[in-house]
Homo-oligomer: A and B are copies of this chain.
Amino acid sequence: MKESWSSLDTFEPNFRPLVVIELAKNTKEETREWLTRRIADKKANGGAQLLVKPLITENGDQNIYLVGASHFRLLLGAETVGLVKECTDNSMRTFTYSSRKTFKDFADDNHSFLTMAESQYIIKHELENLRAKDEKIIPGYPQAKLYPGKSIVRRLLTNGILVQIFPLHDQEELKKLRHTWYGRVKIGYQPLDEIRCYFGETIALYFGFLEYFTFALIPMAVIGIPYYVFAWEDYDKYVMFATFNLLWSTVILEVWKRLCAVMTYRWGTLLMKRQFEEPRPGFHGVLGVNPVTGREEPVYSSIRRQLRIYLVSLPFVCLCLYFSLYVMMIYFDLEQWALDYHKENESNFSSLMLFVPSIIYAIVIEIMNRIYRYAAEFLTSWENHRLESSYQNHLILKVLVFNFLNCFASLFYIAFVLFDMKLLRQSLATLLITSQILNQFAEAFLPYWLQKRHKKRMKKKMYSQKTDTDLSLAEQVSLEKEMGTYFGTFDDYLELFLQFGYVSLFSCVYPLAAVFAVLNNITEIYSDALKMCRVYKRPFAEPTANIGVWQLAFETMSVISVVTNCILIGMSPQVNALFPDSKMDLILTVAFVEHMLLAMKFVMAFVIPDKPRDIQIKLARLEFESLEALKQQ
């Protein structure tokens, strides 16, 4: 291996730019030189051994660099990041350079063995793992301290010298993808494998989940329609619908795990070994020795972090929740007041006043959501998590709880305090439909329109009216670097999560919710696809084996929905009429049924295996082979 590393030259005739590095405008010459030298330097000298070229734009600025790598370098990188690829015998194996001949579609001159997204992921990984050796500071910036082993790119980012790193689009590939994805009207599945090749596993998995979830909602929607059409109000029909709904939601979440395993096995991420996680850029602490790696790095005591979480963040979140409830109560008071006012002096003005509380509440909620989001981000980064994953989990948890309360508190209040089923149905419909319309508008069409306008202006400035594919590289880069950054699938999953809440929490009151959800999701697929392809910068591919914490969130929601639906059914007048003498018997029956349903859910979750049998066998075979290999050694 050693020999092959040294034989690898940084000069390659057909340089293909993959990743763009944008430095701050006023970056010192000395720093530029040092950075490009470190990126291009040989592995043996502690460099990344990548190809790097400055991009000269028309205004002469030299703050943008294009990074690429030779095919051979990428293959070695694929081994480093532990990519899993399909072999000629159809099994999935971790790629190593020495066993490269056993992999499907491998040929020394086949440069498409690694997809562009994979190549870009490898380059990102190599750049992030470019570490300081004996440098004490970043040349030219004495205040930007370095220590041996510190990631150079991360220090440059935190010091603002590096503005951004992003992967380039491939206009041709993107055009093809756009065409198969949403370019034509068709009934059929999304091209998930193509999406995965272009955008990576995390995004493909989101679209896979969105599609699966939409299909899974169709039975609920189909069963829900007659309730609306025939205006069914019989309790037994509602009970049947709710029971079906509860068991169905358990089944779909379990089946998703299996489908997800099938997909990620095919993509190789199911088998990919978790890499050792480096500290996140924002992590700070006293320089010490990491007990796991033995390396020098900032260390922050876990107890202090726990104290921050439990003594500051937790009370703060509780306070916010309380405040949110308090605002809701004021809203209901205002509503009542407006109603009373309208009754007393019936006039045009008073009927207009009826809408005022709702509008104020909607605005206040939106403001609270935004402030809270900032607060949550601030608090979570103040908690000083060492790993990006644990930072993400804590942030998601905080935002999830608050959003859950904000969205559903008023519905809970209407249902279980006011006992007003008519109002509940009405509010549910209003909330669901308006939130869906607003979301789609704010999420995709508005940015798309802004983007389009911006692009036109840019093109005018460049005095050219070429189509996308004919753009020169410099033009493409300067267009893409101005595009918005896609901050991950969080908001998209959150939207789906809240939708799942609308559909399942009160399903027995408003069976039509599933129909709206299905309709929304079909357009959501298109608007999200548009967003990914047209509005945002291309995001780096992120290998992942499942939807992570969202699986847990959806499962929790489905447990809560058992409780709410049982209470709703117990409150319905038809069920009440069945127990004319004793409310006690009614409540006991409802409680009993609820416990049985919960027990059934847990048994079902336990009995349905998380991976299909053939995947289990394939995984067992790999494990067996590695055990045998160990014995042979």
Contacts and interface: CB of A to CB of B under 8 A. Distances in A.
Given A591-B587, A595-B563, A631-B80, A620 B273 contact: no
Contacts of A275: 627
Contact of A620 (B292, B588, B617): B292
Interface string A558-595: 00000100000000000000000001100110010001
Given A563-B595, A591-B591, A276 B621 contact: no
Contacts of A293: 621, 624
Contacts of A595: 563
Contacts of A388: none
B583 A624 contact: no
A613 interface: yes
A294 to B, nearest CB: 8
A500 B532 CA distance: 56
Interface string A579-615: 0000110011001000100000000000000000100
Nearest to A584: B583
Interface SS of A by simple majority: helix
A623 interface: yes
Given A291-B617, A292-B617, A584-B584, A624 B276 contact: yes
A302 interface: yes
5 contacts: A276-B624, A302-B613, A584-B584, A584-B587, A587-B588
Interface string A322-334: 0000000000000
Contacts of A621: 291-294
Contacts of A624: 276, 292-293
A627 B276 contact: yes
In this complex, which of A273, A292, A623, A627 has the most chain B Cβ atoms within 10 angstroms of its Cβ?
A: A292
Give how many copies assemble into the complex: 2
Interface in A165-209: none
Interface of A: 80, 273, 275-276, 291-294, 302, 563, 583-584, 587-588, 591, 595, 613, 617, 620-621, 623-624, 627, 631
Contacts of A627: 273, 275-276
Contacts of A623: 276
A404 to B, nearest CB: 14
Contact of A587 (B302, B587, B617, B620): B587
A617 B624 CA distance: 28
A631 B292 CA distance: 17
A621 B289 CA distance: 13
Contacts of A292: 617, 620-621, 624
A620 B591 CA distance: 45
A588 B275 CA distance: 50
Given A273-B627, A292-B620, A584-B587, 18 more contacts: A275-B627, A276-B623, A276-B624, A291-B621, A292-B617, A292-B621, A292-B624, A293-B621, A293-B624, A294-B621, A302-B613, A563-B595, A583-B583, A583-B584, A584-B584, A587-B587, A587-B588, A591-B591
A611 to B, nearest CB: 13
